[in-house]
Structures are given as C-alpha cells and as structure tokens.
Amino acid sequence: MARAGLKRCDLQMKLKEFDPSWAPLCLPKRMRAIWLTCLWVLALVSCSTPPKPASMAHVGVSREANQDGAQGIIGERLSESQAQELALFAFGLVGTPYHWGGNTPDTGFDCSGFIDYVLSHQTPLKPPRTVTQLRAWGVEVLPAQRRTGDLIFFGSGPTPTHAGIYVGKGRFVHAPSTGGVVHLSYLSDAYWQKLQVNYRRP
C-alpha cells in the first residue's frame, strides 16, 4: 500500500507540475512540517528584499535643443519654463537706474545686485552676492548649450568684469554702469564681441 501511495503522490505531483502547495499532502507529518517551515522562511526573505531603485536619469538630459542650441544640463535646478519666467521678470526691470551696491528697484541695481534680485524673487534659489562668487555658482554651460535664463559673464579668469541674464536670441538684460539704467543689449554689438563670454546655469 505504501508503494501505491507513493505512486499516487508521484501522479499528483506530475499533474500539478510540481506545485509546492500539493507537496505537503504527500509527505509524512514531520517532513510536511519541515516543508512548510522552509516555505515560510522563503516568503519572509522575498518580502524583505528591497526593490532595486528606479533609474534616475536627469530630467531634461535628452531634451531636444531649442533655438539657441540649449539642452538639459546635469546639475541644473530650474526647468525651462521657470527660466522663461525668470527672463520675463528681468525684462520688467528694464529702465531701473544703476546704483553701485544696489539690489532693489527702489535703490537701483549694480550688475550682481540685479541678478540677485531676479533670482531671489523668481526662484527658490539663494545666489551669492558678488560677480566673482556668481562666476563659480551653478553649472558651467557651453555657448552652444546656452538658454534663456542662463547667467552671462564677461571677462577672462575667475573674476569677471560684468554679468547679466541671457534672455535668448543673442540678447541679455543687465545693469551696465554708473549713470546708466538696466537695459537690453545684443551680443552682436561691437563692444561685447571684443570680450570673452562665459555662461552658467542656476
């Protein structure tokens, strides 16, 4: 009878394609307990294994280039729409008088004070105050990758002579010099063409 029981067990296992839930029914009581304990341990192990983290490809890295050739840059903190809003806000300050050390429309702006005011009021970012500090802040951007909202710096070396906010189509908004006002300038102008230009993305 034992052999007949084993044959029936073998048949059941084959019919169920070795479904583990059928195995305990065909085993002696002690072996059945061991079998169920093993299944319980395997279940705990599988439940406690953490899932693999999803791929965190940087947002915008594969974005197509815009009219200025801009693409997503790893490390950038503003979306393209936020950068556009930043540029529009900068346009709204055109005509504000220049004032050395100034950083509000009421007191007037110097070039770094203008950048500080725009970024502080249009983004959650807290930029450094001086042009030299801004030159090392954010992410370096090649001219072919520039986009609206990038910071533009003039002069060679770690200490720029001037800075502004690039607003697309070869233009930038800046607070130029004593006696002037915040205005829109073109990189194609002869004066700016003579200077070395660098870009950084907030």
Question: Is 14's pLDDT higher than 60?
Answer: no
**Cα angle 99-104-110, degrees, rounded to a multiple of 5:** 35
Rounded CA separation 68/75 (Å): 19
- Give the residue with greater pLDDT, 58 vs 128: 128
Domains and CATH numbers, the chain: 2-48 (no CATH), 80-201 (3.90.1720.10)
Catalytic residues: 111, 162, 174
Predicted pLDDT at 62: 31
Condensed to tens digits (0 to 9), the pLDDT of residues 116-143 reads 999 999 998 888 989 999 998 989 999 9
Q: Which residue has the tokens 């840059």?
A: 73
Predicted pLDDT at 38: 55
pTM: 0.64
Q: Which residue has the tokens 């070039």?
A: 111
Rounded CA separation 19/28 (Å): 17
